[in-house]
Every structure is written in C-alpha cells, then in structure tokens.
Structure 1
C-alpha cells in the first residue's frame, strides 16, 4: 500500500469523532500550553480542550466491562472530570479555560435549542400531537407514586417524613439546579427563617444523586431493550409509526448547506423568543422555546427543506457536541464534594427507591396506554434529572437523544409544578 493509504487508515481511526492523529496532536499542544503556564482563552482552543476531555472520558466508559452497556460513557464524561477537579488533577490554567468558556458562553442552551428544535421539526406531525398529550399521564402518576414510596422508605430508615419529602424526594423531581434547587432553597429559607445557603447545601446532593441514579437506570433500560425488543421503540414513543424522528416531506438527496445554516439560526431565534418570555413573564426559556417550536410544526409553517436542515443540525449536535458538553458540565458545574455529601446509606436507598419508582410507574402506565414502556420510563427518569444537563446525560446513556422534547416537558414543566406545590405545602405545614 502507498504511504498515504496508511495515513488514511490512521485518519479513519477515531477517538469519538476526532481522527487519531489529530487527537494526539491536540493532546500534545494542550499539554504544551499547560507547561508554558498560559492556555489561550479563545473559542477554538476551548473547543479543542472540551473535545479531547469529553471523548477521552467517553471512550474510557465505553470500554468498561458490563458498565459500558448501562451508560458508562455518559457517566464517565460527566463525573470523571468532577472527580479530577476535586483531586486538583486538572492543571489550574486548563480548568480556568474550561470554567470560563462554559459559564460565559452558556453553550448548554445552544445545545438544547438545537436538539429540541431539530427533533421537533423532524418529528412526524401526528406522532408529535399524540405523544405530547399521552406523556402527561405516566409523568403525573409517576410523580405521585414516587413521592409516596420515597417518603415511606425514608421514614422506614429513620429520616422522618417531613425531612424525607421536602429535602430528598422533592429536590429529586424539582427540575435540576437552576430551575429546581435554587428556587426551592430560596422558598425554604423564607418559609423556615433559615439561611438560603444552608438550604441549598441540603437540597443539592439529592438533585445530583437522583440524576446519577436516573442515568444508570436509563442505561440499564437501554440494555434491557436490546434483550427484549418488543418493550422498546428505540426512541419512538408509540407503536404504529415508522419512526418518531422522521420527516415524511423531506426532499430527496442530501440537505443543502444553506438550509442547515438556516435551521441553526432558526433554533437560536426560537431560543431568544424563550429568553424574552422569561424576561417578560418569568416563564422558563426552554419551555417557551419548546412550545413555540411545537406550534410552528403543527401549523405547518416550517418548509420541508428547513425541516431537513433541522434534522442535520440535530444529528450534528447529538453526535459531536454531547460528550464535550458533559465534560464541561462535570468540570465547571458539578462539585464532587456536594455529590459525596449525600452518600449515607439511608439517603442513597431513599433516592434510588424514589427514582426507580418514578421510572417503574412510567413503564407500567405507558404500557397500559399503548406506548413503548421503556421510552416512557426514560422520559419519567428525566423528571429526576439535573435539569437540562441531566436530560442530556440520561438520554445519552439511553441512546435516545431524539426524545429531548419529551424530556424537557418532564424536567421543566414537571419540575415547576413540583416546586410550586412543595412550597405551598411547606408554607401550610410550617417548621
């Protein structure tokens, strides 16, 4: 073989999506900058750092015996960097770059916008209508039953019903950190007359451990679905259609690059609509964006060409951005010490019991309603996720990123309802 054919084979060997020679070059350059004590803060370097970190952790998880079948790639991409930060194993100049890029750019929401808009615009219209109406039943049933079971388990372990309900069970289903733990801690502090920081320190660990439990259990369900195909639609919510994520009106041939670019800007525009709704009406931006995208899809406003471009945008972000994003979340937004603070046996049993009940109820109710039980269980799992970051990790572990719109319903709307009812109940009960 000619020398360039060997080079081609090397380039076709990949770590994640990165060609192996490019991966080695980037790793060497990043190490060199760290050695010099100055890592450039421009976007290109930050993207390279997140790609190397995210895909390295993911590849490690994919090679773990047994665990690779239950979402180890997503778990490693999220929690290994958190642990490395705790150990001070990541050079400070490198960590500074990751933290600043993650918090300043807030590219988590670019990812969520692209995934939501791309998947909604790509859905079969009839499936979209039926799915959104049906998903509320297993979600509501799961919330109520999980609250009862989780509280009962906590009481049996000596935690007390009020502490279990309001400081373990409710935070798990509150919708993450920004939309769940923070509003809960503010409300709890006002009602109980305590410091908001102390309340936040109590409700944060269950949020994180609940999300970790949901990631692992969703990975297990993905493995179960491989063994028992009749229980899953492989990302489809209901039987009877070829694919939830399809565009029946797609033009033939590959997507035109102008349609792909237009679809990306459409996703950004809808996210900005969500931000405006948040500023004007205090309505969560991802939920507003979700509803606007659904309305546009139902009214047939989006052309087939733009739908095709949206599908390409969705595939790009789900394939190329997920693991770098999880690495950024783990390093910049997931404090390891908060996570391990809840590692008492009673707390762990209560948290796992709550999440397992939430998912099991979704499984049973979804099956009774003629939906794929594994898919409905995974959507219910997102109700116990760590906000948008949890949704990404859970759906990645389950290999069902196309279900992001339904996951956002479970996380955002379900979480908002839980927070509101919990604060109302605590205010009536008092200290």
Structure 2
C-alpha cells in the first residue's frame, strides 16, 4: 500500500480526500461551482486511470488508463451516479474552453521545444502523408460498404466519411449542414448520428494506438518514441527536456500560459476570415511559422515547454474524465452500433493507419509514430481524441502533427463530401 500513488498522492492521503469528496457529493454539500467540479474530475480521473492501467491486457494493450476515465466518466452519468448539479457544473467547465487551454499548452509547448531544422523537415512531408492516409481510409471504407451490402450513400457518406471531417465540430455542425441543404432535413437529424459514429471511430483509434505502442516496445527499431522523422534524434537532444526546480521557475508557468493562449486568440481571429480551418489548426500552423522564423528566443520556448509539462503531469486524466461525463453518451453509442456500421468504421481506421505506414517509407518517418500521430488521429473527435490516442501510446510529443492531420485532413474531406455527395443521390 505504501508504494501505491493515485493522483500523485500516497494511498493513505488519497483515501480520506476521496471519502470527503463522496460525502460532499452525495449529501449535496459539494461546491456548486468550478471548485467542486474540478476536484471531482481530478480525484475520479486519477482513480479511473490507476485502475484502468492496472487491469491485465486492458491496461497494457488497450490503453486502459485512458479508456477507463473516458468510459468511467460516461458510465457515472449513465447510471445516474453524478448528481444533476454536478453534471451541469462539469458540462459548464468543459464547454467553457478547458479542453482548448490544455490542447494549446501541448501544441505550442511541443512545437516551440522542437529543433527548428527538424520541424521544417517534418512539416513539408506531412501534407503528402495526410493525403495518402485519407486515400487509403476512403478505399477501405468503400470496401466495407461493398462487404456489408450498403449503397455508397449509406455506407460511405452516412457512416464512414463524416468521421474524417476534422473532429466533433465537423460531425455536429459542418457535415450535417451540408446534408441538410441537400436533403432538406433538419441538421439535428444527422448531427446525433454522425457524432456517435465519430465516437466509435475515436475509440477504435485509441485501441489501435495502444496496440501500436505495445508493438513498438517489442520492435524498437520501428519507432522514435515520439520522434516522427528518422535521424532527428540528435536535434531532439539539443532541446532535451529541462529539469525545472520549482522555486526558480514558477514565473515560467505564467509565461508559458500566456504564450500558449495568444496563439489560440490569433487562430480564432483567422478562423473568422477562413472558417474552413478550425482555430486550433490555425494555432498549430502559426506556432510552426513562428518557430521556423526564430521569433521567440530559447528562454520563451522553454517556458512553453515547462507549462506543457505542468498541464500534462497534473490534469490529463481530469480532462479525459470530463470529456466522458460531458460528451460521451453511452446510450446513444449503443443505439447506432451495428455490425455493418462498426465494420465500415473499423476498416476506415485500418486504412488510414496502413496509408500512414506506406507513406512513412517514402518520407523517412518512423512507422509506429507515423501510424499513431497521423493515421490513428485522422478519424478522432479532434483535440480530446488526440489527447486520448497520444496518452495511450505514450507519445504526447506528436500532438502538433496529430492536430494538423486531423484538421487539415478534415477540411479536405469536407470539400470532398460537398463535391461528390450530389452525384450519389
């Protein structure tokens, strides 16, 4: 028991804190604000992660430390174990942009801490990899459509392609709007269905990431452990993670916080002019350009890295549990789950992963890292999906490439749907 730590706390300290939380939650005396919601997510998220990571096979092969917080949070709502006031508080926290703060910390910190030359080399190779991965995803989903006996409209456009439209905003708003204009149905007729399919795709991507991580440990020659391009190890060592003494570096947290969020602000401004790209994708592109230009000195870059490490180290499972409670509806997930739909979605993820594997050979990427960072992130729900896949695969350094793959790929698929859908009516 002495060696067990949950949320970083020794077991003997975690237990009384958790019991106090339970007492307050189920007697209605828990704070009805961000204080109560954040503590609930922090302690339950840490507990779910500890249990999920400890379960044999599920923990080591399927990313149990990520899946259990995600499903556990959703199950708490499904079985009415979260009081209404607390569910509303958590939904408010998640909808207020908590996920975006987390993603900004990772995207900005991971890019600014990279070697400049390596970043340029990787970025120019990324778009062809995205295109190849998308091509194979579409081909495999088409094969799934043929196998299941569905029409192209039913299998490809109504089940498969919406999962590759740049995250939950694509499934909830963009694609339903396209369908609504063509079929003259309410947007809501499509939004619920598409987001369920995307959640199924997201879960398959998480499982693939866990399996690929396990395979990479058995075959280390196939992976850079978070380094995408072969031969980049020397450049990475130049910006090796700094050990940050707490007393000397507290102000660096604030600098990293401000730098990460300013990119989101500018990204939001640019989205107003070019709405086809999500503001997070714009932020990722902008920070790459800033890093390549050399505008920030090394001290500012290290501050961003410090903020990233702080956020990941403390609030990762808090966030995933919040996503499960606020966004993953188990009842809806089950209602649209059929073998035929599952097969099409599964083949789409498989095709995307195979496409990134093939492209890795042409662009000198590590196969495992390309399959995770690009292939397994094309069909996720976006930012929170990238967090889940990269946590499961222990490759959070790939976050910028995962975000760009998901968003740029999503924009391309939206254009594809707009152009081709009318031809199959």
TM-score w.r.t. the length of structure 2 is 0.93
Q: Distance in 1 between matches of 2:240 and 2:81?
A: 51
Contact 2:162 2:170 in 1 (8 A): no
Q: Give 4+ residue runs of structure 1 displaced > 4 Å after superposition.
A: 243-247, 249-255
Tell me whether 1:297 sits opposite 2:291 in the alignment: yes
Contact 2:153 2:424 in 1 (8 A): no
Q: Distance in 2 between matches of 1:359 and 1:244?
A: 27
Tell me whether 1:136 sits opposite 2:127 in the alignment: yes
Deviates more, 1:303-312 or 1:12-21: 12-21
Contact 1:251 1:304 in 2 (8 A): no
Aligned to 1:384: 379
Tell me whether 1:274 sits opposite 2:228 in the alignment: no
Aligned to 1:322: 316
The one of 202, 222, 228 aligned to 1:211: 202
Aligned to 1:5: none
Where do 1:5-404 residues align within 5 Å?
Answer: 13-70=4-61, 71-103=63-95, 105-242=96-233, 248=239, 254=245, 256-282=249-275, 283-378=277-372, 379-404=374-399
Residues 146 and 325 (structure 1), Cα distance of their counterparts in 2 relative to 1, 3 Å cut:
same
Contact 2:18 2:43 in 1 (8 A): yes
1:219-264 deviation digits (Å, cap 9, x = unpaired): 0000000000011000000121226756539989757332332121
Structure 1: which 5+ residue stretches go unaligned? 1-8
SS of the equivalent of 1:235 reads coil
Q: Distance in 2 between matches of 1:93 and 1:32?
A: 15
Q: Distance in 1 between matches of 2:77 and 2:37?
A: 17
Contact 2:244 2:306 in 1 (8 A): no
Structure 2: which 5+ residue stretches go unaligned? none
Deviates more, 1:272-281 or 1:154-163: 272-281
CA RMSD of aligned residues (A): 2.1
Residues 37 and 219 (structure 1), Cα distance of their counterparts in 2 relative to 1, 3 Å cut:
same
TM-score w.r.t. the length of structure 1 is 0.92
> How many residue pairs align between the two structures?
420
1:112-152 deviation digits (Å, cap 9, x = unpaired): 11001100110011111111111222221111121112112
The structural deviation recorded for 1:280 is 4.1
Deviates more, 1:288-297 or 1:274-283: 274-283
